[in-house]
Structure 1
Amino acid sequence: MKRSRIGALARRVAATGSALAALCALALGSAPQASAIYHGTAASDGQFPYAAFVLADDGANPPHAYRCSGALIGNAWVVTAAHCLTGTAARARVILGAADESGSTGARAISTTRGNWIVHPQYDPATLANDIALIHLPYPVTPDSRTSPVTRSTSTADYANSRIVVAGWGLLDDSTTSPVLHYVQTTVMPVADCSRYYGLTSSMLCMDAHPGGSCQGDSGGPVTIYDVYGKPLLIGIVSFGGGGCANTLPRVATRIGAFDSWIHQQTWT
Protein backbone atom coordinates (compact mmCIF):
# COMPACT_ATOMS: atom_id res chain seq x y z
CA MET A 1 0.00 0.00 0.00
CA LYS A 2 1.29 3.44 -0.87
CA ARG A 3 2.77 5.49 1.98
CA SER A 4 0.27 8.31 1.38
CA ARG A 5 -2.62 5.89 1.84
CA ILE A 6 -1.18 4.55 5.06
CA GLY A 7 -0.74 8.07 6.37
CA ALA A 8 -4.33 8.95 5.62
CA LEU A 9 -5.56 5.89 7.46
CA ALA A 10 -3.15 6.24 10.36
CA ARG A 11 -4.71 9.57 11.26
CA ARG A 12 -7.79 7.64 12.35
CA VAL A 13 -5.87 5.89 15.13
CA ALA A 14 -6.01 7.31 18.66
CA ALA A 15 -3.04 8.22 20.87
CA THR A 16 -1.54 4.74 20.72
CA GLY A 17 0.05 5.81 17.44
CA SER A 18 -0.32 2.25 16.09
CA ALA A 19 -0.46 1.94 12.30
CA LEU A 20 -3.85 1.16 10.79
CA ALA A 21 -4.16 -0.94 7.65
CA ALA A 22 -7.17 -1.11 5.36
CA LEU A 23 -8.41 -4.63 4.81
CA CYS A 24 -8.48 -4.27 1.07
CA ALA A 25 -6.96 -1.84 -1.41
CA LEU A 26 -8.41 1.65 -1.53
CA ALA A 27 -7.46 1.70 -5.19
CA LEU A 28 -6.48 -1.11 -7.47
CA GLY A 29 -3.11 0.45 -8.15
CA SER A 30 -2.18 0.13 -4.48
CA ALA A 31 -3.75 -3.24 -3.74
CA PRO A 32 -1.90 -5.34 -1.16
CA GLN A 33 -1.70 -9.11 -1.36
CA ALA A 34 -5.11 -10.74 -1.02
CA SER A 35 -6.11 -12.04 2.36
CA ALA A 36 -8.80 -13.46 4.63
CA ILE A 37 -9.61 -14.64 8.16
CA TYR A 38 -6.72 -15.07 10.60
CA HIS A 39 -6.97 -17.84 13.19
CA GLY A 40 -10.23 -18.99 11.63
CA THR A 41 -11.86 -22.26 10.61
CA ALA A 42 -12.46 -23.52 7.08
CA ALA A 43 -16.10 -23.38 6.04
CA SER A 44 -17.97 -26.10 4.19
CA ASP A 45 -20.25 -25.70 1.17
CA GLY A 46 -23.63 -24.38 2.25
CA GLN A 47 -22.47 -23.31 5.70
CA PHE A 48 -22.61 -19.64 4.67
CA PRO A 49 -24.94 -19.69 1.64
CA TYR A 50 -24.98 -15.89 1.52
CA ALA A 51 -21.19 -15.45 1.37
CA ALA A 52 -19.90 -14.05 -1.92
CA PHE A 53 -16.34 -14.12 -3.25
CA VAL A 54 -15.57 -10.90 -5.16
CA LEU A 55 -12.55 -10.77 -7.48
CA ALA A 56 -12.07 -7.26 -8.86
CA ASP A 57 -9.57 -6.21 -11.52
CA ASP A 58 -8.66 -3.27 -13.73
CA GLY A 59 -9.53 -4.93 -17.05
CA ALA A 60 -5.93 -4.80 -18.29
CA ASN A 61 -4.11 -7.64 -20.04
CA PRO A 62 -2.90 -9.22 -17.84
CA PRO A 63 -5.28 -7.83 -15.22
CA HIS A 64 -4.19 -6.46 -11.85
CA ALA A 65 -6.62 -8.28 -9.57
CA TYR A 66 -7.40 -8.41 -5.86
CA ARG A 67 -9.85 -10.25 -3.67
CA CYS A 68 -12.72 -9.07 -1.53
CA SER A 69 -15.83 -10.66 -0.06
CA GLY A 70 -19.48 -9.77 0.12
CA ALA A 71 -22.92 -10.94 1.17
CA LEU A 72 -25.95 -11.83 -0.92
CA ILE A 73 -28.85 -9.70 0.42
CA GLY A 74 -31.36 -10.36 -2.35
CA ASN A 75 -31.67 -12.68 -5.32
CA ALA A 76 -29.84 -10.13 -7.48
CA TRP A 77 -27.89 -7.99 -4.98
CA VAL A 78 -24.54 -8.37 -3.21
CA VAL A 79 -23.31 -5.87 -0.62
CA THR A 80 -19.57 -5.28 -0.23
CA ALA A 81 -17.11 -2.58 0.82
CA ALA A 82 -16.97 0.57 -1.31
CA HIS A 83 -13.19 0.55 -1.42
CA CYS A 84 -13.30 -2.81 -3.23
CA LEU A 85 -14.97 -1.20 -6.24
CA THR A 86 -13.26 2.19 -6.50
CA GLY A 87 -9.91 3.34 -7.90
CA THR A 88 -9.18 1.66 -11.23
CA ALA A 89 -11.50 -1.32 -10.66
CA ALA A 90 -13.33 -1.97 -13.93
CA ARG A 91 -14.93 -5.38 -13.49
CA ALA A 92 -15.58 -7.96 -10.79
CA ARG A 93 -16.36 -11.65 -10.83
CA VAL A 94 -18.77 -12.77 -8.12
CA ILE A 95 -18.77 -16.40 -7.02
CA LEU A 96 -21.72 -17.77 -5.05
CA GLY A 97 -22.61 -21.20 -3.71
CA ALA A 98 -19.13 -22.50 -2.93
CA ALA A 99 -16.75 -22.34 0.01
CA ASP A 100 -13.84 -23.05 -2.37
CA GLU A 101 -13.67 -20.29 -4.97
CA SER A 102 -11.15 -22.20 -7.10
CA GLY A 103 -13.70 -24.48 -8.73
CA SER A 104 -16.16 -26.21 -6.41
CA THR A 105 -18.95 -28.16 -8.03
CA GLY A 106 -22.10 -26.10 -8.06
CA ALA A 107 -20.36 -22.72 -7.84
CA ARG A 108 -22.03 -19.85 -9.67
CA ALA A 109 -19.59 -17.40 -11.28
CA ILE A 110 -21.17 -14.13 -12.39
CA SER A 111 -19.31 -11.38 -14.25
CA THR A 112 -20.07 -7.73 -13.49
CA THR A 113 -18.71 -4.34 -14.54
CA ARG A 114 -18.90 -0.79 -13.19
CA GLY A 115 -22.36 -0.45 -14.69
CA ASN A 116 -23.56 -3.05 -12.18
CA TRP A 117 -22.12 -1.26 -9.14
CA ILE A 118 -23.54 1.39 -6.83
CA VAL A 119 -20.97 2.95 -4.50
CA HIS A 120 -22.35 5.01 -1.64
CA PRO A 121 -22.23 8.66 -2.77
CA GLN A 122 -20.71 9.79 0.54
CA TYR A 123 -17.98 7.17 0.69
CA ASP A 124 -14.76 8.81 1.90
CA PRO A 125 -11.57 6.93 0.91
CA ALA A 126 -9.49 8.93 3.40
CA THR A 127 -11.54 7.96 6.46
CA LEU A 128 -13.44 4.93 5.10
CA ALA A 129 -16.70 6.51 6.26
CA ASN A 130 -19.75 5.08 4.43
CA ASP A 131 -17.64 2.17 3.17
CA ILE A 132 -20.44 0.32 1.45
CA ALA A 133 -21.34 -0.58 -2.12
CA LEU A 134 -23.88 -2.74 -3.94
CA ILE A 135 -23.38 -5.10 -6.87
CA HIS A 136 -26.47 -5.61 -9.02
CA LEU A 137 -26.14 -9.04 -10.55
CA PRO A 138 -27.11 -9.14 -14.26
CA TYR A 139 -29.69 -11.82 -13.46
CA PRO A 140 -31.26 -13.11 -10.23
CA VAL A 141 -30.01 -16.34 -8.70
CA THR A 142 -32.40 -19.09 -7.73
CA PRO A 143 -31.96 -19.86 -4.04
CA ASP A 144 -30.99 -23.36 -2.99
CA SER A 145 -29.22 -25.05 -0.08
CA ARG A 146 -25.86 -23.54 -1.10
CA THR A 147 -26.93 -20.09 -2.28
CA SER A 148 -29.49 -17.93 -0.50
CA PRO A 149 -29.74 -14.32 0.68
CA VAL A 150 -29.13 -13.37 4.29
CA THR A 151 -31.57 -11.24 6.26
CA ARG A 152 -30.00 -7.85 6.90
CA SER A 153 -30.35 -5.79 10.03
CA THR A 154 -32.49 -2.67 9.83
CA SER A 155 -31.57 -1.63 13.36
CA THR A 156 -29.10 1.03 14.48
CA ALA A 157 -28.37 -0.92 17.69
CA ASP A 158 -24.69 -1.06 18.61
CA TYR A 159 -24.80 -4.83 19.37
CA ALA A 160 -22.15 -4.28 22.07
CA ASN A 161 -20.81 -7.56 23.53
CA SER A 162 -22.82 -9.65 21.06
CA ARG A 163 -21.21 -12.82 19.75
CA ILE A 164 -20.64 -12.59 16.00
CA VAL A 165 -19.29 -14.61 13.10
CA VAL A 166 -16.98 -12.94 10.55
CA ALA A 167 -16.23 -14.67 7.22
CA GLY A 168 -13.95 -14.06 4.25
CA TRP A 169 -11.47 -15.53 1.74
CA GLY A 170 -7.66 -15.36 1.42
CA LEU A 171 -4.65 -15.15 3.72
CA LEU A 172 -4.60 -17.34 6.79
CA ASP A 173 -1.62 -15.38 8.10
CA ASP A 174 0.58 -12.65 6.63
CA SER A 175 1.85 -14.90 3.82
CA THR A 176 -0.44 -17.92 3.38
CA THR A 177 -3.31 -17.74 0.90
CA SER A 178 -6.25 -20.11 0.65
CA PRO A 179 -9.08 -20.43 -1.88
CA VAL A 180 -11.39 -21.66 0.88
CA LEU A 181 -13.77 -19.45 2.86
CA HIS A 182 -12.78 -19.14 6.52
CA TYR A 183 -14.67 -17.77 9.50
CA VAL A 184 -14.02 -16.78 13.08
CA GLN A 185 -16.26 -16.22 16.09
CA THR A 186 -15.60 -13.08 18.09
CA THR A 187 -17.40 -10.25 19.93
CA VAL A 188 -18.64 -6.74 19.13
CA MET A 189 -16.66 -4.28 21.26
CA PRO A 190 -18.43 -1.38 23.00
CA VAL A 191 -17.89 1.89 21.16
CA ALA A 192 -16.23 3.46 24.20
CA ASP A 193 -13.56 0.74 24.27
CA CYS A 194 -12.89 0.88 20.54
CA SER A 195 -12.75 4.67 20.41
CA ARG A 196 -9.40 4.48 22.17
CA TYR A 197 -7.98 3.14 18.93
CA TYR A 198 -10.03 4.71 16.15
CA GLY A 199 -12.24 7.70 15.48
CA LEU A 200 -15.49 5.87 14.78
CA THR A 201 -18.59 7.22 13.11
CA SER A 202 -22.14 6.18 14.00
CA SER A 203 -22.19 3.93 10.93
CA MET A 204 -19.29 1.75 12.17
CA LEU A 205 -19.08 -1.11 14.63
CA CYS A 206 -15.97 -2.56 16.25
CA MET A 207 -14.89 -6.19 16.56
CA ASP A 208 -12.52 -7.85 19.00
CA ALA A 209 -9.53 -9.55 17.33
CA HIS A 210 -8.83 -12.12 20.08
CA PRO A 211 -8.00 -14.86 19.25
CA GLY A 212 -8.40 -14.00 15.58
CA GLY A 213 -10.20 -11.74 13.17
CA SER A 214 -10.38 -10.30 9.70
CA CYS A 215 -7.19 -9.47 7.83
CA GLN A 216 -6.14 -7.56 4.71
CA GLY A 217 -8.48 -8.44 1.88
CA ASP A 218 -11.52 -9.57 3.88
CA SER A 219 -13.23 -6.31 2.98
CA GLY A 220 -16.95 -6.63 2.43
CA GLY A 221 -17.05 -9.96 4.27
CA PRO A 222 -20.26 -10.66 6.23
CA VAL A 223 -20.49 -9.99 9.97
CA THR A 224 -23.48 -11.87 11.38
CA ILE A 225 -25.21 -12.66 14.63
CA TYR A 226 -27.48 -15.69 15.13
CA ASP A 227 -30.86 -15.95 16.82
CA VAL A 228 -31.95 -18.78 19.12
CA TYR A 229 -33.06 -20.77 16.08
CA GLY A 230 -29.67 -20.47 14.38
CA LYS A 231 -30.85 -17.98 11.75
CA PRO A 232 -28.16 -15.46 10.74
CA LEU A 233 -28.68 -11.68 10.68
CA LEU A 234 -26.24 -9.51 8.74
CA ILE A 235 -25.22 -6.60 10.99
CA GLY A 236 -22.04 -5.47 9.22
CA ILE A 237 -19.46 -5.91 6.49
CA VAL A 238 -15.71 -5.84 7.09
CA SER A 239 -14.10 -2.45 6.45
CA PHE A 240 -10.68 -1.86 8.08
CA GLY A 241 -8.38 -2.39 11.07
CA GLY A 242 -5.35 -4.23 12.36
CA GLY A 243 -1.93 -3.73 10.83
CA GLY A 244 -1.06 -7.36 10.12
CA CYS A 245 -3.04 -10.57 10.49
CA ALA A 246 -1.74 -11.35 13.99
CA ASN A 247 -2.14 -7.78 15.26
CA THR A 248 -4.78 -7.71 18.00
CA LEU A 249 -5.97 -4.17 17.33
CA PRO A 250 -9.77 -4.17 16.90
CA ARG A 251 -11.26 -4.55 13.45
CA VAL A 252 -13.97 -2.21 12.16
CA ALA A 253 -17.06 -3.02 10.11
CA THR A 254 -19.61 -0.90 8.30
CA ARG A 255 -22.88 -1.08 10.23
CA ILE A 256 -25.56 -2.39 7.84
CA GLY A 257 -28.52 -1.00 9.78
CA ALA A 258 -27.19 2.54 9.38
CA PHE A 259 -27.72 2.24 5.62
CA ASP A 260 -31.15 0.60 5.63
CA SER A 261 -32.91 3.44 3.78
CA TRP A 262 -30.15 3.75 1.19
CA ILE A 263 -30.07 0.00 0.52
CA HIS A 264 -33.86 -0.12 0.20
CA GLN A 265 -33.89 2.82 -2.21
CA GLN A 266 -31.39 1.06 -4.48
CA THR A 267 -32.65 -2.50 -4.28
CA TRP A 268 -36.27 -2.37 -3.08
CA THR A 269 -35.45 -5.29 -0.77
Structure 2
Amino acid sequence: MKTVVALTLLVVAAQAVDWHNIKPKYSFRNTIRAVPKADRIIGGNIATPGLLPFQAGLFLDGSGFCGGSLIKEDKVLTAAHCCDGTGNFEAHLGAQNIYDESEPTLQIGTSTNGQMHENYSPFTLNNDLCVIHLDAPISGAGIGLIRLPSRSQVGETFEGVAATSSGWGRPSDADPNISPELKYVDVTIMSNAECSSYFGSTITANHVCIDTANGSGGVCNGDSGGPLTITETDGGKTQVGITSFVSSAGCESGSPHGYCRVTGYLDWLEQNAGVTIRP
Protein backbone atom coordinates (compact mmCIF):
# COMPACT_ATOMS: atom_id res chain seq x y z
CA MET A 1 0.00 0.00 0.00
CA LYS A 2 1.38 3.40 -0.98
CA THR A 3 1.19 6.50 1.21
CA VAL A 4 -0.20 9.79 -0.05
CA VAL A 5 1.31 13.24 -0.38
CA ALA A 6 -0.70 16.46 -0.37
CA LEU A 7 -0.04 18.65 -3.38
CA THR A 8 1.17 21.95 -1.99
CA LEU A 9 4.29 23.98 -2.72
CA LEU A 10 6.17 26.49 -0.59
CA VAL A 11 6.94 29.88 -2.11
CA VAL A 12 10.07 31.54 -0.73
CA ALA A 13 9.09 35.00 0.51
CA ALA A 14 11.29 38.06 -0.05
CA GLN A 15 10.74 41.73 -0.76
CA ALA A 16 10.27 40.77 -4.40
CA VAL A 17 9.44 37.14 -5.04
CA ASP A 18 11.63 35.42 -7.62
CA TRP A 19 8.90 33.15 -9.00
CA HIS A 20 11.35 31.10 -11.04
CA ASN A 21 13.01 29.93 -7.83
CA ILE A 22 9.87 28.62 -6.13
CA LYS A 23 10.79 25.28 -4.57
CA PRO A 24 8.76 22.51 -2.95
CA LYS A 25 9.25 21.84 0.73
CA TYR A 26 8.24 18.52 2.25
CA SER A 27 7.11 17.81 5.79
CA PHE A 28 6.05 14.48 7.22
CA ARG A 29 2.92 13.72 9.20
CA ASN A 30 2.53 10.08 10.19
CA THR A 31 2.43 8.07 6.93
CA ILE A 32 1.35 11.05 4.83
CA ARG A 33 3.93 13.19 3.13
CA ALA A 34 2.37 16.65 3.04
CA VAL A 35 3.83 19.35 0.82
CA PRO A 36 3.13 22.86 2.15
CA LYS A 37 1.28 25.05 -0.29
CA ALA A 38 1.47 25.12 -4.20
CA ASP A 39 0.77 23.72 -7.77
CA ARG A 40 1.30 21.85 -11.30
CA ILE A 41 0.01 19.63 -14.18
CA ILE A 42 1.77 16.54 -15.58
CA GLY A 43 1.44 16.35 -19.37
CA GLY A 44 -1.54 18.16 -20.85
CA ASN A 45 -1.81 21.42 -22.74
CA ILE A 46 -1.52 25.17 -22.19
CA ALA A 47 -5.00 26.62 -21.70
CA THR A 48 -6.11 29.30 -24.14
CA PRO A 49 -7.29 32.55 -22.50
CA GLY A 50 -10.84 32.24 -21.21
CA LEU A 51 -10.95 28.44 -21.49
CA LEU A 52 -11.01 27.96 -17.70
CA PRO A 53 -12.60 31.19 -16.40
CA PHE A 54 -13.29 29.66 -12.98
CA GLN A 55 -9.65 28.76 -12.26
CA ALA A 56 -8.06 30.59 -9.34
CA GLY A 57 -4.41 30.86 -8.34
CA LEU A 58 -4.07 31.30 -4.58
CA PHE A 59 -1.07 32.95 -2.94
CA LEU A 60 -0.98 32.03 0.74
CA ASP A 61 0.66 34.26 3.35
CA GLY A 62 3.18 35.33 0.70
CA SER A 63 4.89 31.95 1.07
CA GLY A 64 2.70 29.38 -0.63
CA PHE A 65 0.56 28.67 -3.67
CA CYS A 66 -2.52 26.54 -4.39
CA GLY A 67 -5.24 26.26 -6.99
CA GLY A 68 -8.92 26.91 -6.50
CA SER A 69 -12.19 27.51 -8.31
CA LEU A 70 -14.70 30.35 -8.25
CA ILE A 71 -18.06 28.91 -7.16
CA LYS A 72 -19.71 32.24 -6.32
CA GLU A 73 -18.55 35.79 -7.02
CA ASP A 74 -17.06 36.06 -3.53
CA LYS A 75 -16.34 32.37 -2.80
CA VAL A 76 -13.35 30.27 -3.87
CA LEU A 77 -13.35 26.52 -3.32
CA THR A 78 -10.00 24.89 -2.54
CA ALA A 79 -8.43 22.12 -0.44
CA ALA A 80 -8.46 22.30 3.35
CA HIS A 81 -4.72 21.59 3.48
CA CYS A 82 -4.22 24.85 1.53
CA CYS A 83 -6.15 26.77 4.20
CA ASP A 84 -4.63 24.94 7.16
CA GLY A 85 -2.45 27.48 9.01
CA THR A 86 -2.98 30.20 6.38
CA GLY A 87 -3.97 33.69 7.52
CA ASN A 88 -3.94 35.73 4.30
CA PHE A 89 -5.22 34.71 0.88
CA GLU A 90 -4.66 36.46 -2.44
CA ALA A 91 -6.85 35.00 -5.20
CA HIS A 92 -5.81 35.63 -8.81
CA LEU A 93 -8.70 35.19 -11.25
CA GLY A 94 -8.71 35.71 -15.00
CA ALA A 95 -5.00 34.81 -15.01
CA GLN A 96 -3.15 33.01 -17.79
CA ASN A 97 0.52 33.62 -16.98
CA ILE A 98 0.64 33.51 -13.19
CA TYR A 99 3.77 35.72 -13.20
CA ASP A 100 2.19 38.50 -15.27
CA GLU A 101 0.18 40.96 -13.20
CA SER A 102 -0.41 43.21 -16.23
CA GLU A 103 -2.83 40.82 -17.94
CA PRO A 104 -6.01 42.72 -18.88
CA THR A 105 -8.43 40.13 -17.46
CA LEU A 106 -6.57 39.62 -14.17
CA GLN A 107 -8.41 40.55 -10.99
CA ILE A 108 -7.02 39.96 -7.52
CA GLY A 109 -9.20 39.33 -4.49
CA THR A 110 -8.05 39.16 -0.87
CA SER A 111 -9.30 37.40 2.24
CA THR A 112 -8.33 36.45 5.77
CA ASN A 113 -11.21 33.97 6.05
CA GLY A 114 -10.60 30.41 4.90
CA GLN A 115 -13.29 28.11 6.26
CA MET A 116 -12.05 24.51 6.40
CA HIS A 117 -14.42 21.59 6.75
CA GLU A 118 -14.80 20.98 10.46
CA ASN A 119 -13.91 17.29 10.09
CA TYR A 120 -10.82 17.78 7.94
CA SER A 121 -7.98 15.44 8.90
CA PRO A 122 -4.40 16.48 8.01
CA PHE A 123 -3.34 12.87 8.62
CA THR A 124 -5.73 11.11 6.22
CA LEU A 125 -6.66 14.11 4.05
CA ASN A 126 -10.30 13.17 4.55
CA ASN A 127 -12.80 16.04 4.13
CA ASP A 128 -10.11 18.03 2.32
CA LEU A 129 -12.12 21.10 1.31
CA CYS A 130 -12.23 24.76 2.25
CA VAL A 131 -14.21 27.83 1.20
CA ILE A 132 -12.34 31.13 1.01
CA HIS A 133 -14.68 34.06 1.67
CA LEU A 134 -13.33 36.94 -0.43
CA ASP A 135 -13.52 40.49 0.87
CA ALA A 136 -15.45 41.57 -2.24
CA PRO A 137 -17.13 39.88 -5.24
CA ILE A 138 -15.10 39.35 -8.41
CA SER A 139 -16.51 39.24 -11.94
CA GLY A 140 -15.62 40.52 -15.39
CA ALA A 141 -14.20 39.52 -18.75
CA GLY A 142 -12.39 36.20 -18.64
CA ILE A 143 -13.84 35.31 -15.23
CA GLY A 144 -16.75 32.96 -14.58
CA LEU A 145 -18.22 30.51 -12.09
CA ILE A 146 -17.87 26.74 -12.15
CA ARG A 147 -21.04 24.74 -11.66
CA LEU A 148 -21.31 22.31 -8.75
CA PRO A 149 -22.96 18.89 -9.10
CA SER A 150 -26.71 18.50 -8.78
CA ARG A 151 -28.38 16.54 -5.99
CA SER A 152 -29.39 13.93 -8.56
CA GLN A 153 -25.67 13.19 -9.09
CA VAL A 154 -24.92 12.36 -5.45
CA GLY A 155 -25.02 8.61 -6.09
CA GLU A 156 -22.90 8.73 -9.23
CA THR A 157 -19.35 7.36 -9.07
CA PHE A 158 -18.34 8.94 -12.42
CA GLU A 159 -16.26 5.81 -13.07
CA GLY A 160 -14.99 5.81 -16.66
CA VAL A 161 -16.03 9.42 -17.24
CA ALA A 162 -13.62 11.75 -19.05
CA ALA A 163 -12.55 14.67 -16.86
CA THR A 164 -10.17 17.65 -16.87
CA SER A 165 -7.73 18.77 -14.17
CA SER A 166 -6.04 22.17 -14.28
CA GLY A 167 -3.45 24.36 -12.58
CA TRP A 168 -0.04 26.00 -12.67
CA GLY A 169 1.86 23.25 -10.87
CA ARG A 170 5.11 21.38 -11.56
CA PRO A 171 5.32 19.61 -14.94
CA SER A 172 7.29 16.62 -13.60
CA ASP A 173 8.83 15.15 -10.47
CA ALA A 174 12.23 16.36 -11.69
CA ASP A 175 11.18 19.96 -12.35
CA PRO A 176 11.32 22.11 -9.19
CA ASN A 177 9.42 25.05 -10.71
CA ILE A 178 5.76 25.77 -11.30
CA SER A 179 4.44 26.50 -14.77
CA PRO A 180 4.13 30.15 -15.81
CA GLU A 181 1.15 29.26 -18.02
CA LEU A 182 -2.15 27.75 -16.87
CA LYS A 183 -2.34 24.13 -18.04
CA TYR A 184 -4.96 21.42 -18.20
CA VAL A 185 -4.89 17.67 -18.74
CA ASP A 186 -7.63 15.29 -19.85
CA VAL A 187 -7.93 12.23 -17.61
CA THR A 188 -10.33 9.38 -16.82
CA ILE A 189 -12.04 8.83 -13.47
CA MET A 190 -11.47 5.37 -12.01
CA SER A 191 -13.37 3.31 -9.46
CA ASN A 192 -12.69 3.79 -5.76
CA ALA A 193 -12.16 0.04 -5.48
CA GLU A 194 -9.28 0.19 -7.92
CA CYS A 195 -7.88 3.29 -6.22
CA SER A 196 -8.03 1.46 -2.87
CA SER A 197 -5.78 -1.25 -4.30
CA TYR A 198 -3.03 1.41 -4.29
CA PHE A 199 -3.87 3.38 -1.16
CA GLY A 200 -5.89 0.98 1.01
CA SER A 201 -8.20 2.40 3.68
CA THR A 202 -7.03 5.95 2.92
CA ILE A 203 -9.66 5.94 0.15
CA THR A 204 -13.22 6.52 1.34
CA ALA A 205 -16.51 7.48 -0.26
CA ASN A 206 -15.34 11.09 0.16
CA HIS A 207 -12.66 10.62 -2.51
CA VAL A 208 -12.61 10.36 -6.29
CA CYS A 209 -9.51 9.16 -8.16
CA ILE A 210 -8.14 9.43 -11.68
CA ASP A 211 -6.15 7.03 -13.84
CA THR A 212 -2.82 8.71 -14.65
CA ALA A 213 -2.09 6.49 -17.68
CA ASN A 214 1.08 5.13 -16.07
CA GLY A 215 2.09 8.56 -14.80
CA SER A 216 1.86 10.39 -18.12
CA GLY A 217 -0.99 12.72 -17.15
CA GLY A 218 -2.27 14.17 -13.90
CA VAL A 219 -1.43 16.64 -11.15
CA CYS A 220 1.69 17.40 -9.13
CA ASN A 221 3.06 19.65 -6.39
CA GLY A 222 1.02 21.39 -5.94
CA ASP A 223 -2.14 21.54 -7.99
CA SER A 224 -3.77 21.32 -4.58
CA GLY A 225 -7.24 22.79 -4.38
CA GLY A 226 -7.69 23.02 -8.14
CA PRO A 227 -10.79 21.69 -9.91
CA LEU A 228 -11.49 18.32 -11.50
CA THR A 229 -14.32 18.96 -13.97
CA ILE A 230 -16.52 16.95 -16.30
CA THR A 231 -18.53 18.16 -19.30
CA GLU A 232 -22.19 17.24 -19.05
CA THR A 233 -24.64 16.51 -21.87
CA ASP A 234 -25.78 20.16 -21.93
CA GLY A 235 -22.19 21.20 -22.71
CA GLY A 236 -21.66 22.80 -19.29
CA LYS A 237 -18.70 22.03 -17.06
CA THR A 238 -19.30 20.69 -13.55
CA GLN A 239 -16.71 20.36 -10.79
CA VAL A 240 -16.69 16.87 -9.28
CA GLY A 241 -13.33 16.92 -7.47
CA ILE A 242 -10.86 19.11 -5.56
CA THR A 243 -7.19 18.23 -6.09
CA SER A 244 -5.88 16.60 -2.91
CA PHE A 245 -3.01 14.08 -3.12
CA VAL A 246 -0.69 11.80 -5.07
CA SER A 247 1.41 8.82 -4.02
CA SER A 248 4.51 9.48 -1.93
CA ALA A 249 6.32 7.59 -4.72
CA GLY A 250 5.85 10.65 -6.93
CA CYS A 251 3.50 12.34 -9.37
CA GLU A 252 4.78 10.22 -12.27
CA SER A 253 4.88 6.92 -10.38
CA GLY A 254 1.83 5.54 -12.20
CA SER A 255 -0.34 5.51 -9.09
CA PRO A 256 -3.78 7.16 -9.17
CA HIS A 257 -4.19 10.79 -8.11
CA GLY A 258 -6.77 11.64 -5.45
CA TYR A 259 -9.41 14.34 -5.12
CA CYS A 260 -12.02 15.33 -2.58
CA ARG A 261 -15.40 14.21 -4.00
CA VAL A 262 -17.62 17.30 -4.28
CA THR A 263 -20.92 15.38 -4.36
CA GLY A 264 -20.33 14.36 -0.74
CA TYR A 265 -20.44 17.98 0.44
CA LEU A 266 -23.36 19.65 -1.35
CA ASP A 267 -25.25 20.44 1.86
CA TRP A 268 -22.08 21.79 3.47
CA LEU A 269 -21.34 23.99 0.45
CA GLU A 270 -24.89 25.28 0.25
CA GLN A 271 -24.82 26.20 3.93
CA ASN A 272 -21.31 27.65 4.11
CA ALA A 273 -20.78 29.11 0.62
CA GLY A 274 -24.38 30.16 -0.07
CA VAL A 275 -24.41 28.32 -3.40
CA THR A 276 -27.78 27.04 -4.61
CA ILE A 277 -27.48 23.36 -5.47
CA ARG A 278 -29.42 22.11 -8.47
CA PRO A 279 -32.08 19.42 -7.85
Pairwise TM-score range, normalised by the shorter structure? 0.7 to 0.9
Could you say what secondary structure the match of 1:83 adopts? Answer: helix
Q: 1:255 maps to what in 2?
A: 261
Q: 2:92 maps to what in 1?
A: 95
Q: 2:57 maps to what in 1?
A: 53
Q: CA deviation at 1:67?
A: 1.3
Q: 2:206 maps to what in 1?
A: 203
Kept after mapping to 1: 8 A contact 2:38/2:224? no
For residue 45 of structure 2, the aligned residue among 37, 41, 45 is 41
Kept after mapping to 2: 8 A contact 1:165/1:225? yes
Kept after mapping to 1: 8 A contact 2:39/2:224? no
Q: 1:149 maps to what in 2?
A: 145
Kept after mapping to 2: 8 A contact 1:161/1:189? yes
User: What does the per-residue CA deviation read over 1:37-64, in whole Å, with 9 as the maximum and x for residues that have no partner?
Assistant: 011211122100001001112xxxxx5x
**How many residues align structurally?**
242
Q: Any residues of structure 2 matched to 1:119-268 within 5 Å, and which?
A: 119-144=116-141, 146-154=142-150, 155-156=153-154, 157-174=156-173, 175=175, 176-198=177-199, 199=201, 200-210=203-213, 211-242=216-247, 243-268=249-274
Which piece of structure 1 moves more, 240-249 or 133-142? 240-249
| Segments ≥4 residues shifted beyond 6 Å | none
**Structure with the largest fraction of strand:** 2
Q: CA RMSD in A?
A: 1.9
Query: Taking structure 1 as the reference length, what is the TM-score of the superposition?
Result: 0.84
Query: Could you tell me the percent identity over the aligned residues?
Result: 33
Could you say what secondary structure the match of 2:218 adopts? Answer: coil
Could you say what secondary structure the match of 2:138 adopts? Answer: coil
Q: Which runs of 5+ in 1 are unaligned?
A: 1-13, 58-62
Kept after mapping to 1: 8 A contact 2:41/2:167? yes
Once residues 138 and 38 of structure 2 are traced to their aligned partners in structure 1, the CA distance between those partners, rounded to angstroms, is 27
Could you say what secondary structure the match of 1:260 adopts? Answer: helix
Q: 1:83 maps to what in 2?
A: 81
Q: Which runs of 5+ in 2 are unaligned?
A: 11-24, 28-34
Once residues 227 and 133 of structure 2 are traced to their aligned partners in structure 1, the CA distance between those partners, rounded to angstroms, is 17
User: What does the per-residue CA deviation read over 1:112-163, in whole Å, with 9 as the maximum and x for residues that have no partner?
Assistant: 22xx21110000000000000001111112244x101011013321101100
Once residues 44 and 67 of structure 1 are traced to their aligned partners in structure 2, the CA distance between those partners, rounded to angstroms, is 22
